[in-house]
Amino acid sequence: MCLGIPGKIESIVGTDPLEKVGRVNFGGVFREVSLACVPEAKVGDYVIVHAGMAISVLDEKEAQATLEVLSQIPAGGELPANSNLPGKS
């Protein structure tokens, strides 16, 4: 399974909706991301990115909640059985 990771748009290059590229900050790691699927995205927005494409726009509260959940996943990728996260018993 692949996860889409939220990041914050720091800058945008281009005006054509199909060719816009955002510089997205993933906790200090910056990547160039296609914004073709989210033409409404603007600087300061959080986006979910998968395979180099922003696929949805999140509000800051939702982005922070997602990042909090992701931070609880250990390096091996498995949550402990006693995790308080949704879907874990």
- Tens of pLDDT along 29-40? 999 999 999 999
Separation in Å, CA 14 to CA 17, 23, 34: 8, 12, 11
Query: Which pLDDT band, with edges at 50, 70 and 90, does 24 fall under?
Result: very high
Fold of domain 5-71: SH3 type barrels. (2.30.30)
pLDDT(82) > 80: no
Poorest-pLDDT segment among 33-37, 63-67, 77-81: 77-81
Q: Residue 77's pLDDT is what?
A: 66
pLDDT, the chain, mean: 87
Rounded to whole angstroms, how far apart are CA atoms 41 and 34? Answer: 11
Model pTM score: 0.78
Q: Per-domain residue ranges for the chain?
A: 5-71
Helices (H) and strands (E) in the chain, counts: 1, 5
Q: What is the mean pLDDT of residues 11-26?
A: 96
